[in-house]
């Protein structure tokens, strides 16, 4: 019993199978995790270390180098990079794809633990943390909430002590960070004069405060029949208790802390400043955990906010500034919309050709059934609902009806031509096309196999698309083999279909004209071949040069950011002033809708939501801000969270001498800035940190009994503002107690040099008497890769230029600098990712071609015919390049995946056509007549499948907003490429087939003639 016979004879069983597919898909879909992008498993382990106050040079030698040397003891390292900046060390260890990153993280942690004793040993240094790289970054953020009100301290306390714990209770919520906060502290303002008056030092004050706050268990004691736990409660809780701490008690003179310092409530020195549409606020950013459902997390957080509204400080309010769950919901709506559009388009196209509404509805229902079962199959591989997987499903929707169209058209032929009843036509019509349908589906599926089989960045990024396409197309052929024959046998009106065949005068006339054209083309075969070859050379090697390349397409998401990187060493007020100037320019732009300002000491960030025309707004703002002094500006079409913003194109210069590196970098940057199409050019070494370095006269210092450690400790406890001996808990709030000099005592370097340090003899010596101060500028960042010093330069590109233009220009500029021997240049950032991913996709493409050939050879039982069919693969690039050139869409990695998908689909129509030709030739038809008849017979299903697919993608071609912008390039590549492939299938494939088969037939006749002549001569010789 064939599948078609099963479907038509066992209607109940077939119906239950289809119901199960729908129900299983619905259950799977409702339980799938929803997120913006999937959790990429990037094989990179990151070591972070903080050494507050240390220069980049000291961080490199004392921290980064030691961490790097320790990490090198781990096997399987591909690359190791270090980045040393003011107070921070980052070491990134990259492994080959396919390794277990969790195991590598443990191994790295083990090596770091072994050398902890070699790392700086002071209170400013925090132990290194080892973690896996989070590739999703800001995509994990579910919500950003802005709380406004009059009392910033109360709002901060509420956010930290009330709101944050309530949000944390919700399942799936990960990190919660707060910006623009005014965290309450207890300030202990030290007065050097009063300390000297009472013969005290800052270190003694620190120790006394720390010793005064203690809770010590004292064991247990039994009193009668009860046992009591003894506890000495020395915990400080109130401000007056801290003020009354006894510092000394000599000669009946009691000195309290309040006698030598001013103790009061205050706030932590601000590190950030946040506003929304001009109103200062406290921002709360909520991220999902690794296993969290972004949409569910956002929903629960909103519910928590509503529940907590009565608890908000009086006069305060909140706004949701960013809601990334809306983008996920938008992607899901796009897929649903694409599905509905595809159903409508399919029904219209089929009705135009078949003139039968029932038949059109039969094929139209293939889409929802196949799509639902695809969700079930995706869950078996752990695929989530994200932008990438939904992109694959959106693209697959246009192809889900192809098998159904071919099957239904053949059933119609059996009804209209052979005059068979519906049930017989359903079985025979389906059986005839099952094998070519399976072969065509196999070619479409197998092109994605290399992506999921081979480890690499391509698999991590695009496996969701690959699985979506493979499962959707596999589901569609199952549904086509079951649903179409069953529904056709039950619902088709044979009489009406037969009558419509006689009325199809227009299509019949069109088909006759087409058959005449095919006959003419077959008579001029070599002209056709030469014409196609010329077109290929002109388009690919001529027009192809005008197509620009990029990594990922630039998306108009109705938002952009302006990031002003400040020279290091400036305070927050400078950043706020710059942010206000930038905000005024952005606010005046007519496209601006909402403005969110994030200012820190090293950067001013303006995130903007626009009404329309994002790119035009960006250009206007960039032009108006280009002369803003003392900043490096970057304008990007996505929101930013800090000074680092992703550049369109980045590269790095490698060498040993920092001065030579900077010379080369500065020369290249000057060349780049002279070109208007390079925007926001920035180097990783820009913005050195001003440094005041104390040179201690050790001989003098030792004569007073003072060590370098004593000086460092004194400065830390007085000037840093981060000396924190104890914390106190008041109600639900925990306050830091912080020691520092009064502001007017440390507002200049001269006053620091006038500070006095207590000797071991109880006397005081001025710091300036035992040390001198040197002024210099330290590097902002020192980076290395595999032990070699590097400088990274990045820039945004004008829309008229691509990666290929940037690479050629920079390579030429590098040669002009006449670099010393051993210095080289290489891609970085997105350009490096494009190079690596592009190479992998090309390998996947080559393997896909081999797999396509294998499927065709097995199906056609021929070595030659598959090669003829596959000539459409390279020739389809004519359509792809024309499409990209006409629409001015850049060749991105998404377009490359679209080309891969196109290669799987390009041969489908040819398979069905040549299978029909083979059947006719077995019946004795000549090659010429069989081709003409097969082309005419297959014209309708070829046109129907192409139109339903191409028209199904048409909305994506005209949509560049939001996540749809990623689909656009893929849809253009496949739509134009498939359209041209259809023309090739209708005209060029018959020509190739005729040339090959007629030559084969001539050779066969020649062989037979030689054999006949040989036998004739043999017979004559025997007669003689």
User: Could you report the per-residue pLDDT of 75-91, keeping only the tens digit for each?
Assistant: 989 999 999 888 889 99
Short-list 393, 387, 482, CA closest to 965? 387
Q: Where are the beta strands (DSSP E) in 445-573?
A: 559-566
Residue-wise pLDDT for 541-588, tens only, equals 999 888 888 877 777 788 888 888 876 656 788 888 888 989 999 999
Q: Which residue has the higher pLDDT, 215 or 302?
A: 302
- pLDDT for position 72: 93
Q: Which CATH class is domain 505-546+862-1023?
A: mainly alpha
Name which residue leads in pLDDT, 110 or 124: 110
Is residue 985 helix, strand or coil? Answer: helix
User: How do the residues of the chain divide into helix, strand and coil, expressed in percent and rounded to 5?
Assistant: 55, 20, 20
Mean pLDDT of 722-732: 82
pLDDT tens for 313-347 read 888 899 888 888 887 777 777 777 777 777 788 88
- The H or E element spanning position 533 is helix 525-541
Domain 558-638, CATH: 3.30.70.1430
Q: What is the mean pLDDT of residues 885-910?
A: 86
Q: In what order do the strands lie in the sheet with 261-267?
A: 261-267, 184-190, 733-741, 723-730
- Residues contacting 750, CB < 8 A, separation 6+: none
For the segment 53-75, the average pLDDT, to the nearest whole number, is 90
- The number of beta carbons lying within 10 Å of the beta carbon of residue 136 is 19
pLDDT at 644: 59
Q: Mean pLDDT over residues 949-976, rounded?
A: 77
**Residue 568: predicted pLDDT:** 62
Name which of 731, 98, 773 is nearest 460 in CA terms.
98
Q: Is 913 left (phi over 0), alpha (psi -120 to 50) or beta?
A: alpha
Phi, psi torsion values for 123, nearest 5 degrees: -65, -20
pLDDT band at 444 (very low <50, low <70, confident <90, very high): confident
Asked if 1004 and 927 count as a contact pair (C-beta separation under 8 A), the reply is no
**Residue positions counted in the chain:** 1024
User: Are 856 and 866 a contacting pair, CB within 8 Å?
Assistant: yes
Checking if the pLDDT of 124 tops 90, the result is: no
Which pLDDT score is estimated for 379? 93
Check residues 144 and 335 and name the one with the higher pLDDT. Answer: 144
The answer to whether the CB of 677 falls within 8 A of the CB of 800 is yes
Could you give the percent of the chain with pLDDT greater than 70? 96
DSSP 3-state of 912: helix
| Closest C-alpha among 441, 346, 449, 327 to residue 390 | 327
Fold type of domain 192-259+689-779: 3.30.2090
How confident is the prediction for the chain on average, in pLDDT? 86
Q: Is pLDDT above 60 for 596? A: yes
Give Cβ neighbours of residue 230 (< 8 Å, ≥ 6 apart). Answer: 217, 218, 219, 220, 221
pLDDT value of position 567: 67
Domain(s) of CATH 3.30.2090.10: residues in the chain: 192-259+689-779
pLDDT confidence of residue 614: 86
β-pairing, 184-190 vs 733-741, is: parallel
Mean pLDDT over residues 454-467, rounded? 88
| Nearest residue to 456 (alpha-carbon basis) of 941, 40, 970, 989 | 40
What is the Cβ-side half-sphere exposure of residue 235, based on CA atoms within 13 angstroms? 11
Stretch 487-503: mean pLDDT, rounded?
A: 80
* pLDDT band (50, 70, 90) for residue 890: confident
**Range list for CATH 3.30.70.1430 in the chain:** 558-638
What six digits make up the tokens of 6?
Answer: 């099963």
Please, which pLDDT band fits residue 912 given cuts at 50, 70 and 90? Answer: confident
The highest-confidence range among 35-44, 88-97, 827-836, by mean pLDDT, is: 88-97
Task: Enumerate residues 6+ apart whose C-beta is below 8 A from 722.
Answer: 52, 124, 716, 738
Between β-strands 788-797 and 649-655, what pairing exists: parallel, antiparallel or unpaired?
antiparallel
Q: What does the pLDDT look like over 845-870, one tens digit per residue?
A: 889 889 889 988 887 788 888 888 88
Q: pLDDT tens digits for 661-703?
A: 889 999 999 999 899 888 888 888 776 667 778 888 888 888 8
């Amino acid at each position: 019993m064939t599948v078609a016979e099963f479907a038509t004879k066992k209607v109940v069983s077939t119906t239950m199978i289809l119901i199960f597919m729908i129900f299983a898909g619905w259950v799977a879909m409702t339980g799938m995790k929803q997120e913006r992008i999937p959790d990429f498993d990037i094989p990179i382990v990151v070591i972070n270390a903080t050494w507050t106050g240390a220069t980049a040079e000291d961080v490199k030698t004392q921290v980064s180098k030691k961490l790097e040397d320790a990490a090198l003891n781990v096997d399987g390292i591909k690359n190791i990079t270090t980045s040393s900046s003011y107070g921070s060390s980052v070491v990134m260890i990259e492994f080959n794809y396919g390794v277990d990153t969790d195991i590598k993280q443990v191994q790295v942690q083990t090596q770091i633990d072994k050398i902890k004793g070699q790392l700086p040993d002071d209170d400013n240094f925090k132990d290194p943390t080892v973690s896996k790289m989070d590739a999703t970054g800001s995509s994990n953020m579910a919500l950003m909430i802005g709380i406004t009100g009059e009392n910033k301290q109360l709002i901060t306390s509420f956010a930290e002590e009330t709101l944050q714990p309530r949000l944390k209770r919700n399942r799936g919520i990960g990190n919660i960070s707060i910006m623009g906060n005014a965290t309450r502290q207890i300030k202990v303002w030290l007065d050097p004069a009063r300390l000297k008056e009472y013969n005290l030092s800052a270190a003694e004050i620190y120790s006394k405060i720390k010793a005064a706050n203690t809770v010590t268990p004292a064991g247990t004691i039994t009193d009668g029949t009860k046992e009591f736990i003894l506890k000495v409660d020395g915990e400080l809780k109130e401000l007056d208790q801290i003020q009354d701490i006894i510092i000394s008690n000599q000669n009946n003179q009691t000195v309290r802390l309040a006698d030598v310092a001013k103790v009061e409530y205050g706030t932590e020195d601000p590190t950030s400043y946040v506003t929304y549409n001009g109103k200062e606020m406290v921002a709360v950013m909520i991220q999902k955990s690794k296993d969290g459902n972004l949409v569910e997390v956002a929903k629960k957080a909103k519910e928590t906010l509503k529940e907590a509204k009565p608890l908000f400080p009086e006069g305060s309010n909140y706004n949701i500034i960013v809601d990334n769950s809306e983008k996920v919901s938008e992607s899901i709506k796009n897929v649903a919309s694409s599905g509905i559009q595809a159903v409508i388009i399919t029904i219209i196209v089929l009705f135009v050709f078949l003139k039968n509404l029932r038949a059109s509805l039969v094929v139209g229902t293939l889409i929802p059934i196949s799509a639902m079962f695809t969700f079930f199959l995706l869950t078996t591989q752990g695929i989530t609902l994200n932008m990438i997987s939904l992109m694959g499903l959106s693209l697959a929707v246009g192809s889900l009806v192809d098998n159904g169209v071919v099957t239904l058209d053949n059933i119609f032929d059996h009804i209209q031509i052979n005059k068979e009843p519906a049930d017989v036509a359903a079985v025979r019509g389906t059986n005839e096309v099952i094998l070519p349908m399976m072969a065509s589906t196999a070619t479409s599926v197998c092109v994605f196999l290399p992506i999921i089989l081979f480890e690499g960045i391509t698999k991590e990024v695009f496996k969701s698309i690959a699985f979506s396409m493979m499962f959707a197309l596999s589901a569609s052929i199952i549904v086509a083999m079951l649903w179409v024959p069953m529904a056709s046998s039950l619902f088709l009106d044979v009489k009406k279909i037969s009558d419509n065949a006689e009325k199809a005068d227009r299509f019949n006339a069109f088909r006759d004209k087409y058959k005449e054209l095919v006959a003419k083309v077959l008579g001029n075969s070599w002209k056709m071949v030469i014409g196609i070859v010329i077109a290929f050379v002109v388009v690919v090697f001529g027009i192809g040069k005008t197509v620009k390349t990029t990594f990922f397409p630039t998306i108009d998401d109705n938002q952009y950011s302006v990031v002003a990187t400040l020279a290091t060493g400036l305070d927050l007020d400078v950043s706020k002033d710059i942010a206000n100037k930038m905000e005024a320019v952005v606010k005046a732009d007519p496209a601006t809708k909402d403005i969110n300002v994030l200012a820190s000491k090293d950067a001013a960030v303006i995130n903007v939501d626009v009404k329309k025309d994002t790119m035009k707004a960006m250009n206007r703002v960039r032009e108006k801000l280009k002369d803003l002094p003392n900043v490096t500006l970057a304008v990007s079409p996505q929101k930013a969270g800090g000074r680092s913003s992703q550049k369109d194109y980045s590269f790095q210069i490698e060498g040993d001498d920092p001065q030579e590196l900077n010379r080369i970098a500065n020369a290249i940057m000057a060349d780049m800035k002279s070109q208007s199409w390079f925007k926001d050019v920035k180097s990783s070494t820009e913005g050195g940190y001003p440094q005041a370095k104390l040179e201690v006269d050790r001989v003098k210092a030792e004569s007073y009994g003072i060590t370098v450690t004593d000086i460092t400790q004194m400065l830390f406890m007085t000037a840093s503002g981060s000396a924190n001996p104890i914390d106190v808990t008041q109600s639900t709030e925990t306050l830091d107690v912080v020691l520092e000099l009064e502001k007017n005592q440390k507002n200049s370097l001269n006053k620091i040099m006038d500070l006095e340090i207590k000797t071991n003899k109880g006397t005081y010596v001025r710091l300036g008497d035992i040390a001198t101060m040197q002024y210099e500028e330290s590097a902002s960042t020192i980076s290395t890769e595999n032990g070699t010093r590097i400088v990274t330069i990045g820039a945004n590109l004008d829309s008229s230029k691509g990666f290929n233009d940037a690479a050629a220009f920079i390579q030429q500029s590098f040669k002009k600098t006449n670099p010393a021997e051993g210095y080289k240049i290489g891609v970085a950032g997105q350009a490096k990712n494009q190079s690596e991913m592009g190479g992998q996709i090309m390998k996947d493409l080559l393997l896909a071609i081999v797999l396509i050939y294998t499927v065709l050879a097995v199906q056609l039982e021929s070595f030659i015919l598959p090669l003829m069919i596959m000539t459409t693969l390279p020739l389809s690039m004519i359509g792809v390049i024309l499409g990209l050139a006409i629409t001015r869409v850049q060749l991105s990695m998404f377009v490359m995946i679209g080309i891969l998908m196109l290669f799987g689909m390009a041969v489908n129509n040819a398979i069905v056509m040549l299978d029909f030709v083979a059947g006719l030739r077995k019946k004795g038809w000549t090659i010429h007549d069989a081709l003409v008849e097969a082309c005419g017979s297959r014209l309708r299903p070829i046109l129907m499948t192409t139109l339903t697919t191409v028209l199904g993608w048409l909305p994506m071609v005209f949509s560049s907003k939001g996540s749809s912008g990623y689909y656009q390039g893929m849809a253009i590549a496949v739509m134009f490429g498939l359209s041209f492939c259809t023309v090739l299938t209708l005209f060029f494939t018959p020509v190739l087939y005729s040339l090959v088969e007629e030559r084969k037939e001539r050779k066969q006749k020649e062989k037979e003639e030689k054999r006949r002549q040989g036998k004739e001569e043999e017979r004559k010789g025997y007669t003689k």
